[in-house]
Structures are given as structure tokens and as C-alpha cells.
Structure 1
Amino acid sequence: MASDISKLRNIGIIAHIDAGKTTVTERMLYLSGAKHRVGRVDHGTTDTDDDPEEQERGITIFSACVKFNWGDFNINLLDTPGHVDFTAEVERCLRVLDGAVTVFSAREGVEAQSETVWRQADRYNVPRIVFINKMDREGANFEAVFNDIAPRLGGKPVAVELPVGEGPAHVDNPFRGVIDLVEMKFLQFDPETDGKEIKETDLPEELLDEAQLWREQMLEAVYELSEEAMTLAMDEKEVPNEMIIAALRDGCLTQKIQPVLCGSALHGIGVQPLMTAVGNYLPSPLDRPPVEGFDPKKPDKTRSRKPDPKEPFCGLVFKILPAKTGDNYWIRIYSGQIKQNSRVQCPNREKKENIAQLWQIHASKKDRDGQIETLAAGDICCVIGPRFAITGDTICDTKDAIELPSIKFAETVISMAIEPENTGDRKKLEETLEMLRRQDPTFRAVENEEIGQTIISGMGELHLEVIQHRLTRDFGLNVKFYKPRVNYRETIGGSADVVGQCNRQQGATQMFARLSVKVSPLEDSSAPVLVFDRIPPETVITNALRTAAIEELRERAEGGGMIAGFPLSGVKLEVYDAEMHEEGSDEIAFRIAAGDAFDRALTEAGPVLLEPVMKVEVTTPEDFMGEIVSDLHQRRATVAGNESRGAMTVITAHAPLKEMFGYESAVRSLSQGRAGSSMEPLNYQPAPKEDADSFQF
């Protein structure tokens, strides 16, 4: 536990895949003295990518937490995935972090997933700094990446460092260090010590003019942030470096700016100044506003908790790792203290939970030397003992409860049918899938008893492929896997005004109910179904019957559409009139009438099948652009634009997910292995008529 909460930093590393997040994390661990040897992603020796699947693929799949000290600062760092299929890992980490380091590749710049993680950080109001990595790579261009941040991300970058040279050793002006624009010093990092030793010198004459130009831009931002600095500048007095750092910190904390640094994490260049910048510019828990929640017994009553050990305890479960010795619950502590062998409340489940053990986390495991007695506000830890809480749930003081906002995750876009090879594996498969559901909030598994198969759903091909490997390799299950399919949705093409009725003879009683319902499409076809009670107050109908009808419409909407029972979205239902008889009109009759109105409304409004559409970015040498665009057109894609980035061309397209299975391999084949692609969900659009016709009405 940090003795001084003002020196604690809870940060995340976020970026597009292959920007170098895990390498940055490894260098931080090494240069801070938390480990004695630098791990390499390509060698499978990094601390944070410790899962066999991650080591095999060379990518981060699961978020990992490491703790280290840098100077006076105690840093909890979460390394997150860059692949869009595992965006839930980024979502849950940003929900509990105070600040973030956004990493961009100096060659590829701002990419598709860069935009996604930036928007996620915006949504959670997470202050961030920027690290432009891979300055030693062919085609590196600091200024191009810097200039992309504002128009593409809506950011306000302020350079506090400048690279000296760009590219590998064989180019005319290779990358060989950084200029600290605050101190106006040239920093060179000794390759013999993997960047541990830094040589600091005054700026050579040939670097002075450009450095002065960038420093003036930095100072212009400082003047806007600090009246005191502006006054000194108007009086033609020097602005102290401490005042510059303080102004930049204020600007970063209020998200008016993002300080920008640069380097090469692979060679240890610029990583130590980056860690110093984490301490200087990113917030401690004290710099963040109190968390807001509500009283579980009075949901309309808001409550808040300050990051103070003396406040009542409250924390948020943001990740669960199943384990034989007891599930590992990753907790962000927002207020108060948590102790071993204590009891807490989980208001989401209306249950009491045991806190048997507290552990510090290292990578994705408990730190072997990290069992602790007590932790206080601001920290992140692993808890063993709870049984009922799930990801996004609050745990809090049993005598002073608060429920914090949960974590929202994206809907799945792809499914696959699976079944055990033999009946003996069925129970084990069910237990394993339940465990994976607890671990991964974007994974779904639903058993279809009619066909004897289980339908698993996820965020993309890679997501399901990882699940497939875990079932067979990690858990030793013999399972049949069927071809993946996209997750469609259903909506309506127009409006309709219908009357639903119940006229049934039940014994000696004539059941009766009549409902008038309007149905219309919402502007956003992916929005949840809305059901409104517009029945005039003077209408002769009891509240119980009115409630029964509305509940039935909502339940029918949750049950799916008319084409093939896919989830219904983008529909508004309004009940505007009702009729009852003194005898024979009960809740069952009104539920029947509501069901009749629902079926009539969707049929008359015209059911429409919606397919998920992806935003696709392809980065390719210009020589292969024609073949790639032609292939995209054959996949029913719409090319939204293209732009040059150095020697490469970036093509942006919108394509149906159904047509994009296996695209990563296809685009490499078309470009002799020189092009790469990324995808993220964009929206839902009407599917071709033949697709809708292939399902039975």
C-alpha cells in the first residue's frame, strides 16, 4: 500500500495492436528495478503476456497488472490488449484507472483501434499522456503522428519532448535520443546498459532552432493554462521549469491537453522520462473527483465516496480470474479500508461476501510475496473469498452501503455452435463455459436443447478461436466446433397501427381484451426497443391490466423478432387505447391481446434483418491498393476513403462482417504479406434479401 496516496498512480497502457504497449511495460519494469532482465514479446518472455496463447501469438489478450516504484511514485500499471476482439479488457481497466499512457507507433500513427481506445478513455474522463514509440523504425515520422492526434481523435497534444533523428541506424539521420523541451537538454540513452544510463548535455547548435520552435508552442499552451506564467511572459521574464510542469499537469488533469513524449521502448530510449512524466502529469486518486453511486435501498438517493481511508469502504470488482483455490477478484478500492478475514456487502446481488485474503497482483497472478493484511483507498488488489459478485459489481461496508455504476460491455457479433464429443464431457463443458463467462463479460454460452448444441458468442473470429483453444488445450475437453456465423438483429421497415384482441371461451367465461398499438422505427436501428404506455388516464382499465399488457409487450420484444428470433432493436411500441369488460377481462386476457398486437405490428410494419457492419482499415504499399480495393468491393464493402502515411496507403472501408471471415489471411495473400488490417464494429445495416429469405418466418 502506498504510504502517501498523492504519490500513487493507477495507470493503463492503451493503444492499437502492435504499437508496443507490452514492450513499454517491460522496459518500465526493468528500468525501475522491478525485474532484472528485459522480457521480449517475440521471445515470449514478458511478465504481462504470461498466457500460452499470448506467447504463441505475440499479442496481449488478457489485461495484466504490475506494480513498481519510480522515484517517489508508487505505480499500479495495467497493460491492456490492442486487438478489437478483446476490447472488454480495455473497457474494464479504463473504468477503474485514474490516468493512461496512449502509445502510438511512429510509423503507423493513429490507427483504427487507437480511435476506439481514445473514445473509451474519453467516456470515462481519463486524463492521458502520449508516447510516440518506435522512433527507430523505418518510416518513423514524429510530426505526422503528432499532427494526426487533433483531427482524428479530438485531442490537444502538447509536445514536451522532441526526437533527435528518425528511423534506424542505416538512414542519414537515425534516431539517437530525445530533447527535453522543458529543461532544453539533449538526452542520450546508453545501449550497453539497455538505456539505464542517460547522458544529459546542452543542445548542439544544429538542434537549437527547431527545439526553440517546439518549445515556443509548448509555452503558448502553458500561457493559456497559467495566468502566472502569462504575466511573466508579458513582463519578458523567464518562466520557471517548475511552473511549466505545474501548468502542464493542471492541463492534463482537466483534459485540456495531452503531453506528448517519444522514444523506442525496444531499445530503452525515452522510457525513463516517460515514467517521470507519469508522476508529473497523470493524476493520483486524490486528483480525481469522488465516485458517485446510489443508496441500494433508495435508488433515487445519490451517494459519493472520497478517496479517504477514513471514509466507509467501497470498491469495484473489475475482473475475475477463476482458480481452483478460490476465484481471484480484482478490486479497485475507492474509499475506506479493506482487511483480511472481514465481511463486506455486495448490493448488486443483495449478498454478504467474505474477504478471506488480500494479495498484490503481478501480471495475471497473485504476487507470491504479496499477501497483505490491509489496503486503503486508491489501491488495486486481488481478493479471495467472494462467491456471488460478478464483474462490475460493488463491494462495500455492510453498515453504509453504496452501489457504484457498473461496467457496460459491447454486444457480441459472432457465434459458433459447439457440442461435446461424448456425453461424459457434457457436464465438464457446462462447468468450463460457466467459468469462462465469469472471467470474460463479452463471452456468451447458451444451450440449445432442441439440437443438443451450445451456442457460444464473442467479439470476433480471434476471440472465438482463443476460446476454442482454451477448451481443448487448457481444459482437455473433446469438443466439436462448427462454422462461425454472424449475430444478426431484427428491426422494422416502416410504421403500423394495429389492434390486438383476445376473444376466447374459457369454460363458461368469455375472455376479452382489446389493445390499440402503434409501432414505428427508431432513428438508430441498433437502439433498444422502447415500449410506452400512452393510454389516457380516463380510459376504463385497471392498473393491473395496464401493467400486464406493457409487461407482455416488453417480454415479447426481449424474445426477438419475427424473422428468426434474432434480438429486436430500433423499434418503438406505443399502447394508446384499451378496452375491457367487467367480466372476462383479466391479466391473462390482456397479455394475450398484447401478444396478438405485437405479432400484427411487426408483420404489418415489415420485419427487416440487420447484419453487423465493421469499420475496416487496411495499411498497404500503394502497389497492392488496386487488388485490395477490388477484393473489398467483392465483399460488399464501401470504401470510405484512403490516405497516404509515409510509404504506405491506409484504406478505410465499411464491410459486412459476414463477408470478412478470414480477411486477415486474404489481405496478406493479396499483398505478398506486406499489408495488414484491423476491424472494429461500426453499426448494423439491412442485410441482403436472400439472407433474410434463408431464414424461416
Structure 2
Amino acid sequence: MKTIGILAHVDAGKTTLSEQILYRAGVRRTLGRVDEGTALLDADEIERRRGITVFLGLAPFTLDGQEFTLLDTPGHADFSAETERAIAAMDAAVVVVSAVEGVQAQTEALWELLREKGVPTLFFINKTDREGADAARVTGALQTELRAPACLYEESERAAEFLAGLDDALLEAYLEQGGFAVRPAAARLFREARYCPVLCGAALRGEGVDELLAALSYLVERRPAHTRTITPFRIRHEAGFGARLTFVRVTGGPLRAKEVWNGEKISELRVYTGEKFVTVPEVEDGAVCAATGLTLPLPTAGAVQPVLTAQVETTADRDEVRRALDTLTDEDPLLAANWRADTGRFEVQAMGEIQLEVLGEVLRTRFGIEAAFSEGRPLYRETILNTVTGYGHYEPLRHYAEVHLRLVPGERGGGVTFDSACPTDVLPAQFQHAVRTHLFEKPLRGVLTGAPLTDVHITLLTGRAHEKHTEGGDFREATRRAVRQGLMQAESRLLEPYYAFTVRCGADSAGRVLAALQRMGCDFTPMDAGAGRFGASGRGPAAPLAGYARELAADTGGTGRLRLAFDGYEPVREQDQAVAAVGYDPARDTENPAHSVFCKKGAGYPVPWDEVPLMIHCK
């Protein structure tokens, strides 16, 4: 079983091509169309109403006696996290590019993801029947703008010469023997992700689809696995709060229902075609399926990072909203929905405004919850600029723990790190381990806006437990209060996400683009964009850049192109204004208290954070 992903920028014809493949492979009796809402893999009501792919679609098919699974991925940048996770399950990818619009910003982003993962990639230049189509121009752009080793997939002297330039052995054969067998050479280099075949056609008319299928049949091989592995790439829950479905790629051997995997029993295996499925007792090596009974989480680290946060505005029952958001966060960990005690609202993270709009529709259609979202603001982080010592004491009746922590500014992008300078004869190892665990069990919150803390090194200096009264949760309370007490003393700095960007447009639009970049606070330098074109590259705050694509399209008549890539965090330039706009009061954040609890006459009582150093027990 081999898995092929179909990827593209919006409106390149990706889902139309997927429908043609499934129709010609006999999966569909009639050809589905996106514009008529009959596409098999855009089955969700939201997708049909918007006319774009929002959720990953998959379907198995057979080609020349070989079994494949097709993955139709979202094309909009706001849903690129779903695409990035799906790439881990692919043996090969087909990137669809419009012969009219050519290489777009999302094409560049997809190519970077595929190149990073080493996935063999084929380009299909679509819509060659449209006015203004120019496949040769687009092929040239793949080579120059993406720097992709892309060339037409054909038996020709031109193709042989191109392949020879990619491989020393082929170059030697070309120079000394006058040539070589092009197809086997192309297949080898493709499987090594060193050559990207280019095919052309018009998917809506079915032109070039048979040639594409023949190329896939010949070129694609299953990527080898030395050990049996289950790779989760998608989580979905059946209607409402139904069964949890973990979509996985199985490599290195078959997988059976009722089998125990990492201590969990697989209840059921399903093979999906669009929204429909069949239950099977076993899937073979290389198969894609959905399993129930597994609680495997999705990977969270990756190139795609959210840059906005927004509050959920709803009158629905709080517990029902929490259940729904917890379910959706299980399906997309980057959503990171959480309750903010200081505002009395839920908060979510997002890639952009379109994702927030879709999230509102999902809450309504799947869970019956009417909700809106506040305007997205930057997904801030907080750090400190000086070294402080924080004290946390927790001693209500029959409980006891005290922790002293040193907080030091860390390297930019280093996150929160920890070590201990406390001897185990002062605080036993199991309690030191508890301190470490509680520091990382959930994000530590800053005191400027309540944003997650980052770029801080924390050292355990000393601590104390009670022989009889210390319980497991006591060090959680003391540890997190110590961090908070330290932050209340520190000089804090607010950070915001940044994008690295490239922008290209016609020379006549350069003035408007330059003005917009300056207005958004971007740093940039001009770049060579070709005759009659203007280009610039640089860095800037992610929040305004995330919504700039629409403005760019309006300012350039749709010819401008913006490429964005997450590029870390930088200090907010107008910190006082940003902090005031959020309106966070650390004293109201009851989930992250800075005060400590001491005991007097058999009862616990709170001590304000600034008085704690006078009361601590460890010296």
C-alpha cells in the first residue's frame, strides 16, 4: 500500500484532480465537481459552502494492480497544520500549480515542507486549457523561484541532459556513452527526492490525468521502514462527542484489530473513503486507517505555528463549551483552547481570521454551540530581563511544601529550561523531580498579559517538605507560586511572533507595497524580482502580516504574492500600549497566584507576594 498526497495553493484545481483520479480508478461511478458540491473528498457542509478544502480527505484506490491511498489536503494557509501532519504519512506528493497563476506563496510553503521531510514530489501544472496558461513559464518558475529540480517527465534529450546534471554517475554515462535509459534514471532520482517530474494537463477536462496516473504507477515506491511504526496524523471524533478516531499510517508490518499497542487495545480498524468506511480485521504494511481505542496524540512541533489568539464569545453553558473545545484541541493541538480565569472566557490560538470563522461554524454544526470570536490579537509570549529569586510556600492545615527558585533570562527561542542546585540531603530527589514536573505540566503565565513564559532558565535553589504532611499536590502549589512571586519582582518583557516574508508585485504597485510594509513595522530590503517586477524580503510582526494578503491582492490587482514563514519572537515595540490593550490584572488570575499560604494556630492564611520573603522557612 502506497500513500500519495495531493497539495496545492487555493483554486489550483487540487480537489478536481483528486476527483479525476478516483473516477478513473473506479472508486466513483460519476465524476464529482467542487462547484456543484458533489466532490467526494470535500464532503463536509462547511467545505461545500465555502468551496475550499478545510479538512483532510482520504480514499483508497487501485492502479495497475497496485494499492494506493489518496490524501487530499487543505490548500488555504490557515489550515496548513493539517497538511503538515499529513505529509508524515506520504510516500510521495503531487503539488498542483495553476498554469495561469503559476507559483504562489502557498506553493513555496508546501515545497519547503516537502523538501524538509524529504518526500518525493511531482508537479502537475493544471488548467493548461485556460486563457493565459503558460506551462513553460511555470516550469521555469519552479526551477528559479522554488529552486526545485523540476523538469518535464518525458523521454527526450532535454530530459536526459537535465537528469545528468543532477547525478555524477548519470553525467559520466551521458558524456562517455552518449546517454542512458531516462525512465529508470528518473525513477531513481525521484525516489531519492532529487528530481521532481513535471506533467501538464487540465483536470476539469481530464486532460493529462492518465499520464499522471501512469507516472505515479511507475515512479512511486513505499518508503522503507525498518521497525513497525504507527504514525498518527489526524484525529477526529464522531458526531458530537462520539468515538475518538486516530488516523494512522502503518509501516513495517500489518496491524490487527484487538491488538495491544503500547499498552492500549485497538478496538476497531476502519478504512475510509471520504466520509464512509468499512471495518476490517487487519490492515497491511503501508496502509492508512482509522483506529479506535488508541489515545496517541498528534505531534505538535513543526514549521507551522499559530500567531493569533482570540476570546470565545458565547452564552452557551461553560462546561459544554469546554467539552467541545477540548475535543477540537485533541483534533488540532495548535488550537490550545484554555479557560482564562482573569477574563472569565475561553481563549483559542489560530493561524488567521479564516480559521476562526471556520471554528465558529464547526462549533455550531457539530456541537450546537453558537459562538463568535473577538478580533484576533498577537499570540504574545513574556520573558524577563533580570535575575530574581522567587519563593513559594504552601501550608494549609496538614499540607506542607516550600520552594525557592532562581529565574534568569535565557537565550531567545530557548523556551523554559530547568536545573537544580539543591542537594538531595536538603530536599530529597523525589520532591525535586516533582518541582521539575510541575514547572512543565502546563504553560507558566507571565504577569504583563498572562501570556506564556519563555526564554527563562529556572534553577531550584532549595526547598522543604514535611515528613508527615507533604502530599503530591503540595509541591505543585509551592512551585508555581514561587515562579509567580519571582515574576512579580522581575522586569518583564512582552514578545510577539514575527514572520520572515518575501513579497513580489508589479513595479507600478511598489509604492503602495512599500508604504504598507512600513506601516506594519517591517524591516526589509529590496530583492531582484525580474523585469517589470518589484520584490522585497525581510521580517515583521506576524499579526498585521497574517492579514496582509487580502490587502496586497487589492493593491496589486491580484498579481502580488506574499510568502510568510514563522520566524520566532521579538520584543513588542509599543509595550505599554499593548499591555494596556489586553487589560490583564495578575491579581485577578486565581489560577496563577503569586501569594503564599502559611499556617498559624492550626489554620492556613494567605500572605501577599511581597511579604513572602520575610516569612519563608528555608534560609
Shorter-chain TM band = 0.7 to 0.9
Q: Which residue of 1 aligns with 2:362?
A: 470
**Which among 343, 365, 374 is matched to residue 482 of structure 1?**
374
Q: Pick from 226, 233, 251: which aligns with 2:189?
A: 251
Are 1:277 and 2:215 counterparts?
Answer: yes
Following superposition, the deviation at residue 589 of structure 1 comes to 10
1:444 aligns with: 336
The number of residue pairs the alignment matches comes to 578
Question: Over aligned residue pairs, what C-alpha RMSD do you find?
Answer: 4.1
AA at the equivalent of 1:530: T
> In structure 1, how many angstroms separate the alpha carbons of the residues matched to 2:364 and 2:403?
54
Would the aligned equivalents of 1:344 and 1:353 in 2 still touch at CA under 8 Å?
Answer: yes
- Mapped partners of 1:631, 1:523: distance in 2: 28
User: How many angstroms does 1:540 deviate by?
Assistant: 5.9
Counterparts in 2 of 1:479 and 1:16: CA distance versus 1, 3 Å:
closer
- Answer yes or no: is 1:289 the counterpart of 2:225: yes
Q: Confirm whether residue 378 of structure 1 aligns to residue 286 of structure 2.
A: yes
Alpha-carbon shift at residue 288 of structure 1 (Å): 1.6
Q: Secondary structure at the match of 1:116?
A: helix
Quick check: 1:70 aligned with 2:63? yes
CA apart distance, 1:464: 0.9
1:543-558 to 2 correspondence within 5 Å?
543-544=429-430, 546-547=432-433, 550-551=436-437, 554=440, 558=443
Question: Taking structure 1 as reference, are residues 49 and 550 closer, same or farther at Cα in structure 2, changes over 3 Å only?
Answer: closer
Cα contact 1:9–1:279 (8 A) shared by 2: no
* Aligned equivalent of 2:272: 361
- Report the TM-score, using the length of structure 2 for normalisation: 0.79
- CA separation of 1:452 and 1:475: change in aligned 2, threshold 3 A: same
Mark the CA change 1:62 to 1:650 in structure 2 (over 3 Å): closer, same or farther: farther
Q: For residue 544 of structure 2, give the secondary structure of its aligned residue in structure 1.
A: helix
Residue in structure 1 matched with residue 309 of structure 2 by the alignment: 415
Report the Cα offset of residue 277 of structure 1.
1.8
- The superposition leaves residues 261-318 of structure 1 with CA deviations (integer Å, 9 ceiling, x where unpaired) of 333334433322222222222222xx4232xxxxxxxxxxxxx22xxxxxxxx63443
Q: Rate the CA distance shift 1:499–1:72 in 2: closer, same or farther, 3 A.
A: closer
Q: In 2, Cα distance between the equivalents of 1:689 and 1:22?
A: 45
Partner of 2:408: 519
Deviation at 1:135, TM superposition (A): 3.9
Moved more, 594-603 or 319-328: 594-603
Deviations 1:430-475 (A, max 9, x none): 4433443343333333234565432233222111110112223554
For 1:437 and 1:503, locate their aligned partners in 2 and report how far apart those are by CA, in whole Å: 33
**In structure 2, what is the equivalent of residue 196 of structure 1?**
none
Equivalent in the alignment of 1:311: none
Matched, 1:567 2:459: no
For 1:216-365, what aligned pairs fall within 5 Å after superposition? 216-221=161-166, 224-225=168-169, 230-231=172-173, 234-236=176-178, 239-240=180-181, 244-284=182-222, 287-290=223-226, 304-305=227-228, 315-324=230-239, 326-339=243-256, 342-347=257-262, 350-355=263-268, 358-363=269-274, 365=275
CA–CA separation in structure 2 for the residues paired with 1:108 and 1:92: 27
In structure 2, what residue type is equivalent to 1:483? E
- Aligned-residue offset at 1:253: 2.0
Q: State the Cα distance separating 1:380 from its structure 2 match.
A: 1.6
Q: Which runs of 5+ in 1 are unaligned?
A: 1-7, 162-179, 185-211, 291-303, 306-313, 393-405
TM-superposed deviation, 1:327: 4.5
Q: Is the 8 A contact 2:524 2:536 kept in 1?
A: yes
- Find the counterpart in structure 1 of residue 79 from structure 2: 86
- 1:652-667 equivalence runs, <5 A: 652=537, 654-660=539-545, 663-667=548-552
Q: Which runs of no fewer than 5 residues in structure 2 stay unpaired?
A: 587-619
Q: Is the 8 A contact 1:420 1:478 kept in 2?
A: yes
Map 1:684-695 to 2 at 5 A: 684-687=569-572, 688-694=574-580, 695=583
Output aligned runs, 1:131-210, within 5 Å: 131-137=124-130, 140-142=133-135, 145-149=138-142, 153=146, 155=148, 157-161=149-153, 180=154, 182=155, 184=156
Deviations 1:622-658 (A, max 9, x none): 4333223212322223345455468765555544233
The aligned amino acid for 1:685 is E
Tell me the secondary structure at the aligned position of residue 26 of structure 1: helix
Counterpart AA for 1:51: D
Identical aligned residues as a percent: 27
Letter in 1 for 2:259: V
Deviations 1:2-29 (A, max 9, x none): xxxxxx3211112333333223222322
Tell whether 2:295 aligns with 1:389.
yes
Distance in 2, Cα, partners of 1:646 & 1:29: 42
The amino acid across from 1:379 in the alignment is: A
Residues in 2 aligned to 1:518 and 1:418: alpha-carbon distance in whole angstroms = 33
Between the aligned partners of 2:465 and 2:283, the Cα distance in structure 1 is 64
Question: In 2 relative to 1, CA 261–504 (structure 1 residues): closer, same or farther, beyond 3 Å?
Answer: closer
Q: What CA deviation, in whole Å up to 9, does each residue of 1:567-608 have, x standing for no partner?
A: 111222345x55889999989999898668645765676311
State the secondary structure of the residue aligned to 2:309. strand
Deviations 1:171-226 (CA, angstroms, capped at 9, x unpaired): xxxxxxxxx3x1x4xxxxxxxxxxxxxxxxxxxxxxxxxxx4444223444x6355
